[in-house]
Amino acid sequence: MKRKTIFFIIFISIIVNTVIIALSNSSNNFSNIFNNTSKYIFILFNIILIICFFRINNSPQLATVNLKNEKNEKRREENSSPKIGFSDVAGLEEVKEELGEIIDFLKNPEKYKAMGAKIPKGILLYGPPGTGKTLLAKAIAGETNSKFIHASGSEFVEKYVGVGAKRVRTLFEKARKESPSVIFIDEIDAIGAKRSLESNNEKDQTLNQLLIEMDGFNNDQTIIVIGATNRIDMLDEALLRPGRFDRNIYIGNPDINSRKEIFKVHLKNKPINPNINIEELAKKTHGMSGAHISNIANEAAILAVRKNKKIIDKEDFDEAIEKVIGGLERKNSHIIDKEKRRVSFHEAGHALMGKILNTDLITKISIIPRSQALGYVMYTPEEERFLITKEELFNKIKVMLAGRAAEEVIYGNISTGAKDDLKKANQLAFQMVCEYGMSNLENRFFEPTLIKTCYNIIDEEINKIINSCYKDSFEIIKSKKDILCKIAESLYEKESLTGEELENILKEHENSNNLLVKT
């Protein structure tokens, strides 16, 4: 505003100055009135105004704010008309059904107003990253032909007091002008976090302005605010109360049926081998988000192009899944022979224990390094599970520790190769003690605030679980040392084994029928 005012004054001054000089040259009387001294003062005044203009124009504060606003406005204009509908959102059938009335309201607002019904002003989508929250918001706008106004929570966070609040006002003014509209605020926890004594004025003002704007909708305005976050527990209670974000919808990782539908969406424009089993792909991607599946489909296509193929085969998908899970393969890594053998025994220990305890289906064992891992075992659950028993969790920890146990059985010592295994085993043991009530402390749940107070008790219980599981793993691996060596030797020679090859090794062994042990 200051910049525009000074620019206007300079413009008027230049015009007045030009007129005065012209009159001075044409009229002696006027020249006597407006003498040379007055001219110099007037010119000096103009120079001062110009200097002020450039100082304000080059101000870091204004430059930052204006640059961000220009970029954000340009991006919002580009994304204002998404050509995406619910047909592009695979899975999430229950969520789409829940949002059906929101879409109907945006299409037929008069029907609801006639009944005196108030549609929710805000919808909060929360859940892990990559599950389709942004895509769902775009689909709502696309289904209703509404203006889609996208913003990120970080865009409103500034060190200059008042800037964030102004951006919130501008965002909602734009939505009101272009109603019906959908305002989507991604990562809303950046501005909607709980207020505390450590909060700053700028952050609080921005949040307050957002609350005021959401309260200020008229019944005649067809505007829906959609927020997205990975951390609903961090949001301020005032933001979540009825009348603001009325609907809180959890968007979790897809189940097997949803993963099949997501694969179908991402593969419909790709030339794939007709023999590809999408259900098998869905099983192999257990626990993955929609973003992971999209990435796998894209990586498989890239790998097929790299190999000069015309269609995408099963091996391309398998390699893509391994790449997404384990990272980039290090083909030229120079690992000395004795380390390669140790890694073979380590991974064979995991695989053997997994088969003995029948935890999950093993699809592949490899000692080809990927990212920071020197080897890995890939598991696929045989069925979708939502509940896990105490015994099954203990077995999972035993499988995690079986690699280190195998090293100790064969070499009589341990190495640093079990770093990631130990981390995961201790995390699971921590959950068993603090969250699941599966320790000697029995039915106890520890709030985060209590964990520091009871640290010694919790640590003691975790040690009991880890030490007990490691002892069992060591004894089982020791009793099956011969078959362990057979698996490790085969793995060392081939560098990778499929689940079928592992089964064949076990069947060939003379004592394979006695592998199962009671634990």
361-366/496-498 β-pairing: antiparallel
Task: Say if residue 349 carries a ligand binding annotation.
Answer: no
- Closest by CA to 430, choosing from 409, 417, 414, 448, is 448
CB 322 within 8 A of CB 370: yes
Residue 82 marked in a binding site: no
- Contact (CB, 8 A) for 156 and 205: no
Please state whether the peptide bond connecting residue 180 to the residue before it is cis, i.e. omega within 30 degrees of 0.
yes
131 is in an annotated binding site: yes
- Is 369 assigned a ligand-binding role in the annotation? no
Q: Is position 130 annotated in a ligand binding site?
A: yes
CB 362 within 8 A of CB 348: no
Alpha carbon 1 to chain centroid distance? 38
- Looking at the DSSP bridge assignments, the partners of residue 377 are 365
Strand-strand pairing, 223-229 and 181-186: parallel
Q: Is 382 a catalytic residue?
A: no
d(CA 350, CA 354) in angstroms, rounded, equals: 6
Q: Count each helix (H run) and each strand (E run) in the chain, helices first.
A: 23, 8
Q: Is 334 known as a binding-site position?
A: no
> Do the annotations mark residue 129 as ligand-binding?
yes
Considering 347, 383, 475, 493, which one is annotated as catalytic? 347
Q: Count how many Cα atoms sit within 13 Å of the Cα of residue 140 in the half-sphere of its side chain.
A: 33
132 labelled ligand-binding: yes
Q: Is 389 annotated as a binding residue?
A: no
Q: Is 464 labelled as part of a ligand binding site?
A: no
Amino acid at 17: N
Would the annotation count 498 as a binding residue?
A: no
Query: Cα(69)–Cα(62) distance, rounded to whole angstroms?
Result: 10
Residues in Cβ contact with 454 at an 8 Å cutoff, skipping those fewer than 6 apart: 446
In the annotated binding site for Zn(2+), the residues are: 346, 350, 421
Active site residue ranges: 347
In the annotated binding site for ATP, the residues are: 127-134
In the annotated binding site, the residues are: 127-134, 346, 350, 421
